[in-house]
Amino acid sequence: MGSESAGTTMNYFLDDRINKAQILFPGVGCFLIAVFLGAALHASYSRDNLAKLQAQNQWVPQHSL
């Protein structure tokens, strides 16, 4: 799979007709930034939800069996 990726990358550099590296690589960069921001936001929401649930559980009386 790695060699296919390297070959595809070289093709974008060498092909002057349709696939322009000047257009492709900034788009890939923006996509990766969006993926990492989305992952960070998801992690933040998960931590926030966990904190809210833990705070809510402090007010629930604990019944012993």
The mean predicted confidence, pLDDT, of the chain is 77
What are the structural domain ranges in the chain? Answer: 21-57
Farthest CA pair distance, the chain: 75
Q: Which amino acid is at 28?
A: V
Query: Is the pLDDT at 59 greater than 70, yes or no?
Result: no
Measured between alpha carbons, how far is 43 from 32 in angstroms, rounded to an integer? 17
Band of the pLDDT at 26, cuts 50, 70, 90?
confident
Cβ–Cβ under 8 Å, residues 12 and 24: yes
